[in-house]
């Protein structure tokens, strides 16, 4: 099947229905493997590439920059700022000083004079929101970024930011990047409805739950290697017993359909109307080839609802859940 395209919120920018995340570039994937994956993604129809200044300690941006340099305009490219990249005490957070320096470094590594979207990678409790938003607006006015974007903020923080941006005439956040998969569904409560109401684009990360939904895990089944085994962050994030039970049932559902669990997990995420593009990533060509099969699976409402029943829906934003159904007094 052909890769579908979507428009990112109100920007008019057209992107592939899958985004490719470059977190493995320069870390778990060397340059040769990274380049193979880049070209495989492009051949499949992907034009949307997500990066960050901390991926591979800057190597991800260097690799991606080299891969896109001949046809930069064809690609929609993102990067991020927040996490420390050096021992410099000012080399972290969302101060103007760090944002300006980090973007200049990112553009240099990518070999481009602009980013399509620039993400704040987390919330900075030490910098006034107004300062951060003013800095992003100045970067838009300077032509260094086309649109500000936001990752790992709560819905109230984003809404507050949108209010400040509107009040001051700043360029608003146009794209959001939350975690979202079958076992991590918190985004359904406020983030995705907010994005739909505000007409924001959404690229969600971890559609495979750090590998949990690839068929390698079950209630008593564990692989020898993998993120959930090797990385304490992922082990903590997905380590609850109920998640492995969901993974086992999900794998059985995929087996019944005759499809690999990974593309099914990605297709489930992509079916949500609030999602512009799930971010797929891979350590190697073998993993990438499996994930790319998501575009060949036709998710139906029936399959979507059956899969959704495998994991608990998150509680609503208020404790008056009956209001959502209209059955209230």
Cα(250)–Cα(308) distance, integer angstroms: 10
Under the phi-then-psi rule, with left for phi > 0, alpha for psi from -120 to 50, and beta for the rest, what region is 226?
Answer: left
Q: Annotate 232-250 with b (16+ C-beta within 10 A) or e (fewer).
A: eebeebbeeeebbebbbbb
3-state class of 119 per DSSP?
A: strand
Helix intervals (H) in the chain: 31-44, 59-68, 96-110, 129-141, 155-168, 191-198, 227-230, 232-238, 241-257, 261-271, 285-292, 301-308, 322-325
Q: Which of 55, 75, 217, 234 is catalytic?
A: 55
Cα(170)–Cα(208) distance, integer angstroms: 35
Cα→Cα distances 205→11, 150, 151, 182, 302, Å: 21, 13, 10, 12, 24
Best CA proximity match to 42, nearest among 13, 19, 59:
19
Cα(234)–Cα(210) distance, integer angstroms: 7
Residue 281 CB coordination number (10 Å): 23
Q: Is 205 an active-site residue?
A: no
Residue 3 CB coordination number (10 Å): 15
Best CA proximity match to 139, nearest among 159, 162, 175, 114:
114
- Cα 171 to the center of its chain, rounded Å: 21
Residue 144 CB coordination number (10 Å): 18
Q: Which residues are catalytic?
A: 55
């Amino acid at each position: 099947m052909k890769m579908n395209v979507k428009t990112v919120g109100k920007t008019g920018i057209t992107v592939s229905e899958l985004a490719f995340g470059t977190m493995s570039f320069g870390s778990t994937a060397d340059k040769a493997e990274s380049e193979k994956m880049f070209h495989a993604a492009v051949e499949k129809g992907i034009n949307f590439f997500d990066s960050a200044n901390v991926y591979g300690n800057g190597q991800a941006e260097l690799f991606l920059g080299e891969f896109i340099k001949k046809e930069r305009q064809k690609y929609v490219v993102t990067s991020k700022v927040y996490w420390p990249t050096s021992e410099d005490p000012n080399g972290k957070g969302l101060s103007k000083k760090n944002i300006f320096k980090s973007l200049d470094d990112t553009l240099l590594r990518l070999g481009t004079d602009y980013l399509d979207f620039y993400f704040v990678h987390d919330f900075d409790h030490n910098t006034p929101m107004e300062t951060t938003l003013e800095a992003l607006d100045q970067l838009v006015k300077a032509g260094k970024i086309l649109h500000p974007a936001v990752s790992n903020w709560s819905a109230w923080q984003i809404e507050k930011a949108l209010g400040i941006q509107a009040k001051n005439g700043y360029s608003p956040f146009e794209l959001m990047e939350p975690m979202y998969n079958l076992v991590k569904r918190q985004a359904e409560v406020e983030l995705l409805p907010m994005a739909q109401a505000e007409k924001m684009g959404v690229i969600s990360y971890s559609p495979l739950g750090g590998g949990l939904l690839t068929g390698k895990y079950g209630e008593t089944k564990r692989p020898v290697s993998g993120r959930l085994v090797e990385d304490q962050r992922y082990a903590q994030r997905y380590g609850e017993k109920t998640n492995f039970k969901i993974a086992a049932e999900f794998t059985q559902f995929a087996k019944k359909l005759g499809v690999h669990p990974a593309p099914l997990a990605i297709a489930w995420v992509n079916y949500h109307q609030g999602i512009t593009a799930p971010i797929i990533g891979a350590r190697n060509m073998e993993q990438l080839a499996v994930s790319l099969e998501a575009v060949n699976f036709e998710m139906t409402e029936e399959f979507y609802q059956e899969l959704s029943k495998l994991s608990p829906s998150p509680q609503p934003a208020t404790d008056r859940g009956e209001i959502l159904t209209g059955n209230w007094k």
